[in-house]
Structure 1
Amino acid sequence: MAEFKTDIEIARAAHKRPITEIGAKLGIPAEDLVPYGHDKAKISARFIKGLENKPDGKLILVTAINPTPAGEGKTTTTVGLSDGLNRIGKRAITCIREASLGPNFGVKGGAAGGGHAQIVPMEDMNLHFTGDFHAITTAHNLLSALVDNHIYWGNELEIDTRRVTWRRVMDMNDRALRSVVTSLGGVANGYPREAGFDITVASEVMAILCLSRDLEDLEKRLGDIIVAYRRDKSPVFARDLKADGAMAVLLKDAMQPNLVQTLENNPAFVHGGPFANIAHGCNSVVATTTALKLADYVVTEAGFGADLGAEKFFDIKCRKAGLKPAAAVIVATVRAMKMNGGVKKDDLGHENVEAVKKGCANLGRHIENVKQFGVPVVVAVNHFTADTDAEIQAMKDFVASLGAEAILCKHWANGSAGIEELAHKVVQLAESGAAQFAPLYPDEMKLFDKMDTVVKRIYRGLEAIADKPVRDQLHAWEAAGYGNLPVCMAKTQYSFSTDPALRGAPVDHVVPIREVRLSAGAGFVVAICGEIMTMPGLPRVPSSEKIFLNEQGQIEGLF
């Protein structure tokens, strides 16, 4: 029996090439790479600007079913597919998000793929990497400090301290900071007010960085951030505080995409990191559009299940950036189908074809949903060793009944050699010209109607509901000229409903929208649904308890 190696052991054994060699594969001169050590680098803005007139390659989205504790492997499949496309002679680039420290030390683990389909250096990617998240956190909190400082020094802008909407952020799960009171301690410390923290990946600054085309666009969007309202309810913008210039300075380097490599020494862009359950869940526009100028195929992913990540990729990122995806891959596993079919995690190792068939309802819903956007779909069955032939065939038969194909993929164990069939299928779909991409709703639709459309057509709910203050707020934003923005639904990733325990493919549920937030700089309206939190908490036994340095100074337990 072959020796089992963990993801981190496989990553440590990688034969990495110098990052300048990886850049040279793409035609990036060494002088246009800003190296961070020998195995990662940023790509210069000058080089990116010089690509404007080059034709685009094909954009492939990798998405998934709703996540379960059984595991799906979306990032692993994204990396594996990119390696597979390179293996069959196509020039392909992986484009994924950077990892948040909160989940790394909480429950989710790393975000660099797994097995023999990983991006390296894995430890760096899952920790501080090139400092982008620190820059985003600092820029966000600079604006927070400027708001309170302006109020302290006389409040010339007449900010209503009861209507300060700009919170603070940090890149860690810390439920104790969700709601706080600031400026206690007397006259020297300012005026006490209620405030709170979100996790950095939920920051509007993160979304702005990921949606900006260049530094000029970045600075304009930063200036458009609404930080508070006056007593007459007129907005106060970041530019009113003269914050946009300094924030852009802090983000100058963070705007440059990060170049790293897969285990098979193929190029990967890792840049940006908004969560898909509370933000738009896609890597940066500048990374994706740059990759499209340099490759035949760009394989990117959108966070969590297709009801969140893919919907936001299509309705926010593609709409705003003018992207037209050529095909989509939906990742699923036999184990996850059984869990959706009612099997407990401890029993997933036993064959249960009927549970697979029952659980396929969740997969079927995602296939139908992605097709609604006019994008052709293939299903990647991410293989686990305990999967039986009968269970795999049940999945294939179900997918075939919906007019699509499910392909067994063994990239975790075999790298690109285990995913060639999927690579050929993706090329076939992308080259067929079958994609007729269109967003789910038009710009001119009313904001609440956009939310209701997502609820009915993607979540298959009965309706979205909201109290009068929420609806009044939406009407006010429409009157102020923000009605043409897309909506970003913040909801649990575990279910089509707002109940994380409701697996499968529920219908006719009601989706309560308890709060709405205007991200005027990013260019969308956030609808916070059910009990979702924009600052997560740590679990009873956080992953951090198993993370340490061994005697050789190597990191253990990170993934």
Structure 2
Amino acid sequence: DVEPFGWYKGKFALGLESRLTDRPLAKYVNVTAINPTPLGEGKTVTSIGLSMGLNRIGKRAIVTLRQPSQGPLFGIKGGGAGGGNSKLFPADEINLHFTGDMHAIGAATNLLAALIDNHLARKATPIIDPATVFWQRCVDICDRGLRKVQTAVGDGEKWITRTTAFDLTPASEIMAILALATSLPDFSRRIGRILVGLTPQGDPVFVDDLKVTGALTAILKDAVRPNLVQTLEGTPAIVHAGPFANIAHGNSSVLGDLIATRLADYVVTESGFGSDCGAEKFFNIKCRVSGLRPDVEVVVCTVRALKLHSGQFAVKAGKPLPPELLTENLPALRAGAVNLQAHLEILRQFGVPTVIAVNRFPDDTDSELEEVRKIALSAGAADVAVSTAFADGGVGAEQIAEAVIKAAALPRNFQFLYGLELPPEEKLRTIATKIYGAEGVDMSPEATDQLELYRRIGFGNFPVCIAKTQYSLSHDPKLIGRPKGFRIPIRQVRLAAGAGFLYAL
């Protein structure tokens, strides 16, 4: 059921997930974090390390992760395959072209854009109003010259021009569809449901209406198949799909998790950035589609990141750290720990036991680690464990593994944050107030009109995905710690009809 892709990679067979349903479900563990800082919290390192630690203490474990993007790889963030002695193998191939899934998504996205332009130029039916075309091209590198472009199609005498843009491939709707599809037929249905634009009369035009669903599915037929690699210690790793968590829903594929949870005792997955971004979308979007329910939530933090959230230090990525950040400072730690407390309160609303994983650095003192432990336990954490997986591999994550096993035995009362029957405005307000701690949302006239359109064409009951900064609980990256007294501005609301959610900007 695994087809080799070179020496160290493989792809699962289509339909495998449906042939495994008679097997017991694994314990399902999601790893998230506090609001990240330019230093990085080591979430992927911890996820990989936890899977290796579980295997070391006799539990069959699989880790499921997103495919890295070349945009962040060649930008400020770097690779996404772990680091030190807690990483995937072969990391260089995973970080670059891997099995070609990212390129296939780009090809399909740009093919659809080309077909739309051809449809406009030929004035084919159904007629599409050029001003209403929602679809944009994509590219997997950070290219400022393509952030806004003007296209022109025509016969040389009469041109149709319009302003459009290139998205990053991980932010494209086809990437979201790949991550949320439950089978190849479901994937094809979702592709056909993509909203292309509107007719001059205001009626929706979908990919199915253009008769190109089959062509797009054909390009992506192998990209739908989850990828199998391994960690440095031989733990199986399913790396599939790569939507960002700040401007998309930020989780690896449903298909990968459906396979993994039937093949292991424990499945460790990861949602992007903090619990206000990836984890909220994991619960309210991914888990609705997959039908899987998490048994344990792990929150990764570092002592230095908690100090930074005190607002007493200035740090920039790539620059040397201020010496005072590397010395013991319990008052700064306590001041910044309000961010950790906020994330514990967020997760408590979903009814899942939470373990705090402190990713230890050499300059962390025992007093600081003990202070984090006291703060986390008093805020409702089921347990607190220290990880040295970066330096020590799986043995450095055994403490987290033991804590996760104990937490998985605790009762859970999983619940979604909102019901799908709520109006989208109310869903947005619920996330803003209960997750971000905002006083409310401010909808622009454009966003209000867009929601009215989506209701009219039958898509008002989708879950919502808010695109916001990962660095703050708020919409403003400068508001670190636990900001108060702010409101979330909603400029636009876009429809990802194929993926199955509304996303607010």
TM-score between the two structures when normalised by the length of structure 1: 0.87
Report how far residue 392 of structure 1 moved. Answer: 1.2
| Counterpart in the other structure of 1:507 | 484
CA contact (8 A) 2:438 2:487 kept: yes
- Structure 2 residue matching 1:419: 3-state secondary structure: helix
1:71, 1:146 → 2: CA distance? 41
Cα deviation code 1:5-58 (max 9, x no counterpart): xxxxxxxxxxxxxxxxxxxxxxxxxxx222121101101114333213222111
Write out aligned runs for 1:13-162 (5 A): 32-162=1-131
CA contact (8 A) 1:90 1:296 kept: yes
Letter in 2 for 1:485: F
| Counterpart in the other structure of 1:344 | 314
| Counterpart in the other structure of 1:430 | 408
CA contact (8 A) 1:447 1:478 kept: no
| Counterpart in the other structure of 1:550 | none
Write out aligned runs for 1:474-493 (5 A): 474-493=451-470
Aligned pair 1:384/2:353, yes or no?
no
Aligned pair 1:194/2:171, yes or no?
no
Of the structure 1 ranges 339-348 and 92-101, higher mean CA displacement relative to structure 2 is found in 339-348
CA contact (8 A) 2:276 2:436 kept: yes
CA contact (8 A) 1:497 1:511 kept: yes
Aligned pair 1:417/2:365, yes or no?
no
CA contact (8 A) 1:279 1:488 kept: yes
| Counterpart in the other structure of 2:251 | 282
| Counterpart in the other structure of 1:9 | none
Report how far residue 469 of structure 1 moved. Answer: 2.6
| Counterpart in the other structure of 1:396 | 373
CA contact (8 A) 2:328 2:365 kept: yes
- Structure 2 residue matching 1:45: 3-state secondary structure: coil
Cα deviation code 1:190-239 (max 9, x no counterpart): 52221111100010000001101111001100000001111221111011
Of the structure 1 ranges 406-415 and 211-220, higher mean CA displacement relative to structure 2 is found in 406-415
Write out aligned runs for 1:247-396 (5 A): 247-341=216-310, 342-345=312-315, 346-347=321-322, 348-396=325-373
Structure 2 CA distance for partners of 1:207 and 1:33, relative to 1, 3 Å = same
Letter in 2 for 1:449: E
- Structure 2 residue matching 1:191: 3-state secondary structure: strand
Letter in 1 for 2:500: G
TM-score between the two structures when normalised by the length of structure 2: 0.96
Report how far residue 416 of structure 1 moved. Answer: 1.2
Letter in 1 for 2:443: A
Determine which of 513, 517, 521 is the counterpart of 2:494. Answer: 517
2:444, 2:9 → 1: CA distance? 49
Q: Unpaired segments of 5 or more residues in structure 2?
A: 316-320
- Structure 2 residue matching 1:482: 3-state secondary structure: coil
CA contact (8 A) 1:70 1:339 kept: no
CA contact (8 A) 1:516 1:526 kept: yes
Determine which of 375, 378, 385 is the counterpart of 1:407. Answer: 385
Report how far residue 507 of structure 1 moved. Answer: 1.8
Report how far residue 276 of structure 1 moved. Answer: 0.3
CA contact (8 A) 2:49 2:394 kept: yes
1:239, 1:490 → 2: CA distance? 28
Cα deviation code 1:145-182 (max 9, x no counterpart): 11011111123211101111101111111222121111
Report how far residue 186 of structure 1 moved. Answer: 6.3
2:123, 2:155 → 1: CA distance? 16
Report how far residue 79 of structure 1 moved. Answer: 0.2
- Structure 2 residue matching 1:273: 3-state secondary structure: coil
| Count of aligned pairs | 496
1:394, 1:47 → 2: CA distance? 47
2:154, 2:92 → 1: CA distance? 41
Report how far residue 326 of structure 1 moved. Answer: 0.2
Report how far residue 337 of structure 1 moved. Answer: 0.6
1:333, 1:272 → 2: CA distance? 27
Report how far residue 508 of structure 1 moved. Answer: 2.2
1:97, 1:332 → 2: CA distance? 20
- Structure 1 residue matching 2:214: 3-state secondary structure: helix
CA contact (8 A) 2:17 2:258 kept: no
Cα deviation code 1:110-159 (max 9, x no counterpart): 00111111111000010000000001111111111110111111232111
Letter in 2 for 1:440: L
CA contact (8 A) 2:121 2:155 kept: no
CA contact (8 A) 1:343 1:355 kept: no
Q: Unpaired segments of 5 or more residues in structure 1?
A: 1-31, 529-559
Letter in 2 for 1:458: I
Report how far residue 420 of structure 1 moved. Answer: 1.1
Aligned pair 1:171/2:140, yes or no?
yes
Letter in 2 for 1:436: N
| Counterpart in the other structure of 1:6 | none
CA contact (8 A) 1:137 1:169 kept: yes
Aligned pair 1:449/2:449, yes or no?
no
CA contact (8 A) 1:459 1:496 kept: yes
Letter in 2 for 1:344: A
- Structure 2 residue matching 1:136: 3-state secondary structure: helix
Report how far residue 185 of structure 1 moved. Answer: 8.4
| Counterpart in the other structure of 1:495 | 472
Of the structure 1 ranges 347-356 and 519-528, higher mean CA displacement relative to structure 2 is found in 347-356
Of the structure 1 ranges 226-235 and 245-254, higher mean CA displacement relative to structure 2 is found in 226-235
